[in-house]
Amino acid sequence: TCYSVLFYHLTELLNSAHEFVDASALAEEMVSVCSSSPDAHFLRNLFEHLLTSGHVEFLLRIESPTLENWIAHEKKDTFLLAQYYTLHNLDWLSGQIMWKRATTVEEKVPLAERIDCLTRACNAYQSAQTKATNSSSAVSLVGAITQAGTPQVRQPPVEEINRLKSQADEQLDIASLQSRLLDAILASDNLVNNVGASELDALKTSLVPVSDLYNDYAGPLALYDMCLLILRTCHENDTASIAKLWKSILCDYIIPCRVRDLSAQTFLAELKRGSMLEEEDIVLDESAGSAYAKLPLFEDGGWVPKLKDRVLGLGKDLYGQGADYTFPLDLIVRTLEGLRRVQASSETSSLIDNIQASWPVQLFIDIGVPYPVILEVYDSLIHRESNGANDTDAWLRNMANVIGVLRIWVSRTNRTLAGSGPMQFANGGIGNKEQEDASAQLFRAVSSGGLLHQIDSYKAFLEACVGGDADVIASLSSSLVDCEDIIRQSFL
């Protein structure tokens, strides 16, 4: 047919458009002339040919409401229509098209596709925000890409675009959590068996309300991490639930277990109280029968690497994301340091050894908790022991932790502590940005006068301490003075 002859030569020209400048201009002109035809049948054939021959970029440049209608109603290609709007500076319409596809309840859409559509919607709204902000007028007219005489459609006000962007961002966050929840379930046959077929299908093909994700999936399946992530995303400061979830997480890799020491049993029994693992066993090794022989021994510390990795990953997801209450530092510090203390009680290490940074301290630094915040939490542990009056050893251990925080802080500003060897950290070293952050935080703490005042009070506490090992107290005092000297030399 005559269409075929025309399309053949058009294709030849388009195929050479990227090789020759003149061919590119001629191809643009030929497409423009063809698309100006009033013959609707011809136009549909032209559009189909450009699409199937791989010349989508030329197709989408055509300024015609006929093309827009053809993509929307004949091809019913959501992604192609969104591209069309984006190319013609109608980003807000592109966002709306993607939002509608992502949130449709009229058909089952794979969750991955919904997330992709939400991501595209967020990007489109972001682009619309930028253009509206930078433009002297917040109005963009569809008339710029339509035939004369067609109605002009106004872009929504900037405030409405901002609302649409926030709505899309929130839904994307929830959908991403749903994806993580689905992956966690599919990775465990036990979890799959505990989820009904219809509930699993809903996770795979729809956007599940966030309350249902918490109450019908994450909670009943004991996916404590997911529960915390949902609370963070919803900005739900439920103190009791957060504490319960964290106690459950901190118990998860430890109990049920055997313990050698009664103090360890007492500590773990208190930790599991109020958690989701209250019914699990903690038995003294000396009285454990054959029924408990295969339980892991707490003091062996096999739980430490797993717990560190879990707290590190969860801490990075939760802390510094605008909902720090989902990462309750005071509870986590007290628990991890308590676990470290009772687990190490059977070892021969002395308090002097503990002047070096404890693994919980390094963990919080790797998560990104600022040094002043870490110091404040560890400082609170000191004051709970009333200057050694209740338990001198416990008080000295807390003081050793505080000094350990100071030593790391000073060390990570790239200053050298006298008498200390190279310090190893979980992330394999420190980069320039980390040095700058540590230095900036230390400079602010020193400039305010608060840090040096704290150090003076620590020295006074140590001088007033009675009943403790004199060598330990002397070692702690020496290390504290060493930190103070470096700080004064570097920042005053």
Calculate mean pLDDT across residues 169-179. Answer: 96
Most confident of 87-96, 125-134, 173-182, 436-445: 173-182
> Which pLDDT score is estimated for 335?
95
The per-residue pLDDT for range 320-367, each reduced to its tens digit, is 999 999 999 999 999 999 999 888 765 545 555 555 567 898 899 999
Name the CA radius of gyration of the chain, rounded: 32
Under DSSP, the state recorded for 371 is H
The set of residues, in sequence order, having a beta carbon less than 8 Å from that of 106 and lying 6+ positions away, is none
3-state secondary structure of 297: strand
pLDDT at 425 over 90: no
Q: How confident is the model at residue 424 (pLDDT cuts 50, 70, 90)?
A: very low
96-118 mean pLDDT: 96
Please give the Cα distance from 148 to 154 (Å, whole number): 16
Residue 282, pLDDT score: 92
What is the spatial distance between Cα 218 and Cα 229, in angstroms, rounded to a whole number?
Answer: 10
Tell me what pLDDT residue 135 has: 63
Q: What is the pTM of this model?
A: 0.81
Q: Who's near 226: CB < 8 A, 6+ residues apart?
A: 177, 180, 181, 184, 213, 217, 218
Estimate to the nearest angstrom the gap between the alpha carbon of 442 and the chain centroid. 26
Half-sphere exposure of 279 (CA within 13 A, CB side): 1
Banded pLDDT at 391 (limits 50, 70, 90): confident
Exposure of 93 by Cβ count < 10 A (0-12 exposed, 13-18 middle, 19+ buried)?
Answer: buried
Contact 122, 165 (CB under 8 A): yes
Report, as an integer, the average pLDDT of 430-437: 67
Residue 156's Cβ-side half-sphere holds a number of Cα atoms within 13 Å equal to 16
| Alpha-carbon gap, residue 48 to 60, rounded angstroms | 12
Q: Does the pLDDT of residue 154 top 80, yes or no?
A: no
Would you state the pLDDT for residue 420? Answer: 45
Buried-exposed string 410-448: b where 16+ CB fall within 10 A, e elsewhere: bbbbebebeeeeeeeeeeeebeeebeebbbebbeebbee
Residue 468 pLDDT exceeds 90? no
Question: What digits encode the pLDDT tens for the residues 43-72?
Answer: 888 898 889 888 888 888 888 889 989 999
The SS3 of residue 259 is strand
Q: Where are the alpha helices (DSSP H) in 104-212?
A: 111-134, 158-186, 189-193, 197-205, 210-212
pLDDT at 147 over 50: no
Q: What is the mean pLDDT of the chain?
A: 85
Q: pLDDT of 192-228, one tens digit each?
A: 999 999 999 999 999 999 999 999 999 999 999 999 9
